[in-house]
Each structure stands twice: as structure tokens, then as C-alpha cells.
Amino acid sequence: MTGIVITGASGRMGQMLIKVVEASDHAHLVGVTEREGHPWVGQDLGVAMGQSEMGVPVVSDAIEVVKDAQAIIDFTSPAASVAMAELAAQARAVHVIGTTGLSDGDLAKIKAAARHAPIVRAGNMSLGVNLLVQLTKKVAAALDEDYDIEVVEAHHRHKVDAPSGTALMLGEAAAEGRGVDLNDVKDSGRDGITGARKRGDIGFAAIRGGDVVGEHDVIFAADGERIVLRHLATDRAVFARGALKAALWGQGKGPGEYDMLDVLGL
Ligand SMILES: NC(=O)C1=CN([C@@H]2O[C@H](COP(=O)(O)OP(=O)(O)OC[C@H]3O[C@@H](n4cnc5c(N)ncnc54)[C@H](OP(=O)(O)O)[C@@H]3O)[C@@H](O)[C@H]2O)C=CC1
Ligand SMILES: O=C(O)C1=N[C@H](C(=O)O)C[C@H](O)C1
């Protein structure tokens, strides 16, 4: 049984991850974290959730629980994930990072931590999206710049980052298929008199509202036809199941940065 720590236990993904790990025959919870000052901190997890005692502490200082863990599953905030990467590296535990909105500076710190322990990171941990990444690469490689590529995503009203991590994964896949660097062709947040679309650009658009779990379209639009590759997530369990799979897959792996394509063998 692999001992797991879940960070951000009260969050949308934290709660889903707790359910998925609790239901697993291959993993068990050794601790969960919440940010300092959160009302759950200091309580037993079961009691905090309004259920019976689980024997799992909710702590704000992750050091207390990471020492007993083989893997940490982390869907929180960029600052929290960077701090956790250092702790997980010290404990030589597998760190699964689902957090999105990471800056280049955050990514550099995560890369440094991965010199000491395995880190699996992906902006989307579902099988469906990772398959769509591969399909996007293939379609982009088959089409020339007569086909304008646009990535459109929709998420719930609470989401704080845009474009979504998934949209960026899909944009990077499209750029790779075309043999270009996304940084050179990325066009996001159009507003006002932006001028006509530049040939070869990869555009991004974000919709925020209600309780949308996560929807992504990759559109290849040419004169006379349009190809649309679409993924609709309707249940956060798809992300949580992928994250647990990554935590188990990472056991025994050497230090380094991995993604869900590695985990899923895609
Ligand atoms: N890769 C993937 O497949 C997916 C990625 N995500 C990403 O995961 C992240 C979280 O999403 P979601 O669950 O919806 O967000 P939530 O805001 O619901 O949850 C985040 C949780 O982390 C807590 N937190 C913040 N800082 C710390 C800290 N230092 N230590 C411990 N806990 C902390 C927050 O507490 P508080 O609210 O009190 O600050 C909150 O409970 C986002 O970046 C999102 O984009 C989401 C779904 C799938
Ligand atoms: O914040 C979310 O909810 C989600 N975030 C991830 C992203 O940024 O792509 C994955 C999923 O779409 C849900």
C-alpha cells in the first residue's frame, strides 16, 4: 500500500482526491494539508468533513506528514506547489502536481526539485485530454497554415488562471505538430482593435461561468471547412483517478520530470 498525502484537502480537487484514494486497494491516506489558519487544521479529516473519525490529521505544516508518505498529490496554488516540491524532494517522495498557472520561475524551481525525486506534472490528468493532446499533435502536423488553430476553453466561475493548463498543453501540442515554438505564435486575450489574425498564430479564448468542470475545443479553421477536436469533463473524478495512477506509477522511478503521457504510455 502506497502512503499518500493530499494537499489542499478542502478544495474541489482535494475532496475528490480523498474519495478516490479512500476507495483504492493500492493506496491509503497518511495525512492531508490545508493552508495555515484554515478551520480544518488541527482536526481529524473525517471530523472536519462532518463524518466519523478517520485517523488522518489535517496539518498546515506538511513536514509533519510528508515524512510518512511515498507520494504527495497536490492540486493547490503555484506558491504552495513550489514549496511542496522542495519538501517532497527532501523526503524522496513522488510529487504529483496538478496545479496550473505556474510561472516560468515556478517551473524552474520544480525542475530543480526534480533532480532529487520524481515529479509528475500535467495541466490535465485525465486519459481523455492526454489522448486529445496526441491527436492534436497529429492533426497539426498533417495540416498547413491555411488551417488557423484556435483553442477555446470553458471552466467554472471560481477558476483563477487563464488560459487553462489544459489549453496550454493543447496549444503546445499543436505548435509541436507544426514544428514551431508556442511562445512565438501564441495569441491570447484578444480585446479591442487587434488587427486581422496573423497567419500561423495559435489563438486562445477562455469562458468562465457556473459550475463547468472543464471543456476544451481545438479548432482547425480553413476556408470552407473546420475540424474540431473536443474534450468535455463532467466529473472531477477523471482528474483524481489520473493523479492517483501517476502516484502509483512513480514508485521506484528515478528523479526527473514526468508527465501523464509517460504515465499512460501514450
Ligand atoms: N491537472 C489537472 O488535471 C487539474 C488541475 N486543476 C488545478 O488544480 C488547482 C486547484 O483546483 P481546485 O481544487 O479547483 O481549487 P480550490 O481552490 O478548490 O482548491 C485549492 C485548495 O488548496 C488550498 N491551499 C492553498 N494554499 C495551500 C497551502 N499552502 N497548503 C495547503 N493547501 C493550500 C486552498 O485553500 P484556501 O481556499 O483556503 O486558500 C484550497 O482548499 C488549480 O490550479 C486547478 O487549475 C484542477 C483540476 C484538474
Ligand atoms: O481549474 C480547474 O477546474 C481545472 N483546471 C485544469 C486546467 O487548468 O486545465 C484542468 C481542468 O480543466 C480543470
ipTM over 0.85: yes
Mutate to test the pocket of ligand 2, among 100, 211, 260 (most ligand atoms within 8 A of CB): 100
Give the residue numbers marked as catalytic. 155, 159
If phi > 0 it is left, if psi is from -120 to 50 it is alpha, else beta; for residue 180 that is: beta
Distance of CA 167 to the CA centre of its chain: 11
Burial class for 180, CB neighbours closer than 10 Å (0-12, 13-18, 19+) = middle
Residue nearest to atom 1 of ligand 2 (CA): 159
CB 31 less than 6 A from any atom of ligand 1? no
**DSSP element (H, E) containing 7:** strand 2-7
Residue 40, Cβ neighbours under 10 Å: how many?
A: 20
Taken in order of first residue, the domains within the chain and their CATH numbers are 2-125+236-264 (3.40.50.720), 127-233 (3.30.360.10)
How confident is the prediction for the chain on average, in pLDDT? Answer: 97
Q: What is the position in ligand 1's atom list of the atom closest to the CA of 165?
A: 45
Task: Give 47-63 pLDDT, tens digit per residue.
Answer: 999 999 999 999 999 99
Q: Of how many residues is the chain composed?
A: 266
Task: Give 221-259 pLDDT, tens digit per residue.
Answer: 999 999 999 999 999 999 999 999 999 999 999 999 999
Mean pLDDT of 6-14: 98
Mean pLDDT of 176-200: 97
Please indicate, yes or no, whether the overall pTM of this predicted structure exceeds 0.95: yes
Measured in Å, residue 166 CA sits from the centre of ligand 2 at 7
CA 201/CA 159 separation, integer angstroms: 25
CB 74 less than 6 A from any atom of ligand 1? no
Task: Give 67-111 pLDDT, tens digit per residue.
Answer: 999 999 999 999 999 999 999 999 999 999 999 999 999 999 999
Q: 45 is written with which cell numbers? A: 479529516
- Check: CB of residue 169 under 8 Å from CB of residue 122: yes
Residue 19 is predicted with a pLDDT of: 97
User: Per-residue b/e over 227-261, b at no fewer than 16 CB within 10 Å?
Assistant: eebebebeebbbbbbbbbbbbbbbeeeeeebbbbe
